[in-house]
Amino acid sequence: MSIKVWDYLIEYAEEKKEILSAIEEVLDSGWLILGQKVKDFEEQYSRFCGVKYGIGVANGTDAIFLALKALGIKAEDEVITVSNTAIPTVSAIVSTGATPVFVDVNEDTYLMDVSQIERMISRRTKCILPVHLFGQCVDMDEVNRIAEKHNLFVLEDCAQSHGALYKGQKSGSMSDISATSFYPTKILGTYGDGGMVITNSEELNKKMRRLRFYGAEKTYYAIEHGYNSRLDELHASILLRKIKHIDSYIERRRQLAFQYNDLLKDTDLILPYEAEQGRHAYYLYVVRHPRRDLIIEELKKRDILVNISYPWPIHTMSAYSYLGYKTGDLPVTEKVANQIFSLPLYPSLSDSEQKEVTDVLHEILKQID
């Protein structure tokens, strides 16, 4: 049997009665779209994050896009973010008509290098979009200081950081508005697509609720141009059951991460760095090695499947070549993209499976030394 970088089947088997019961409740209710389950989950997830309002949407990409629209981001505007992220972060910016402006990342955390933000600000800059990548939060004190100084919005991309902490504050609670995803692989994931925007602003909450529903507050009458992006009742009901387990999910992820640290401490892999001011939720356990591709190939031969998040920085992709970036513009981002890979890590990964992964890694690393 192969060991996958992510697998939900054991977790599903353990929670199957809860999940099927959640689905049956919705199907028996007669209400499938924007009903009580969505309302309840919006309340529970926003409360979990320590934020007043939650607005369920169809997916994490829509969450970023609609949050930007709610902030009034439009063509000719610029949004400062990073290239070391998933495509949706940038595609959402581009879909508003705005231009993404990239800063490099820190080599230890792979997160936004906040020291580079100010020099990228122009008269067109309207928003800073930090990405809390791999389960760890960006230095939000500095992001917010810069934003306040320059009168900019801040939108947190929290798709990979459910439950992560920065100085005791939850991911998503430290900005004007935040976006997250409930894609199946996430720390809190459903069995399909789903997303949410959270905010403390009553005005942004009302705006978001219109934008996700054709610009309407009541059926058949649009107050403004809007979109169709709604978290459905089925996924909301599943997430209501799963959010009860989120603390145990994170605890198990951290336990596995600490065990990896111990099992791999004597290798020449560069292991994840957890910043002192935060709590890493370990959505991914990301390691680095200059011979990454060979290691992955050898692991695959032994039925251990790992992943690279992400092998191609956004600024190197042909879809975004019009932005004018060239090789060498973001040296740290480009360097780590050639070296990082993620080891299997999810709550139902067993200790014995993890030990098999690390034993094989030790063997491969000795061979290529």
Task: Report the predicted TM-score, pTM, of the whole model to 2 decimal places.
Answer: 0.97
pLDDT at position 245:
98
Q: What is the pLDDT of residue 369?
A: 81
Closest C-alpha to 177, from 299, 92, 245? 92
For residue 363, the model assigns a pLDDT of 98
Please, what are the averages of pLDDT over each run of 10 residues along the chain (369 residues)? 95 97 98 97 98 98 98 98 98 98 98 98 98 98 98 98 98 98 98 98 98 95 97 98 98 98 98 96 98 98 97 98 97 98 98 98 95
- Give the domain ranges of the chain: 9-103+110-244, 246-368
Predicted pLDDT of residue 362: 98
Beta bridge partners of 153: 127
Query: Residue 3 phi/psi, 5° resolution?
Result: -105, 120
d(CA 194, CA 167): 28
Residue 14: its pLDDT value, please?
96
Q: For residue 8, give Cα distances in angstroms to 1, 68, 185, 346.
A: 15, 32, 8, 8
The CATH topology of domain 9-103+110-244 is: Aspartate Aminotransferase; domain 2 (3.40.640)
Query: What is the per-residue pLDDT for 182?
Result: 98
Q: How many C-alpha atoms does 312 have within 13 Å on its Cβ side?
A: 9
CATH code for the structural domain at 246-368? 3.90.1150.10
Residue type, 109: T
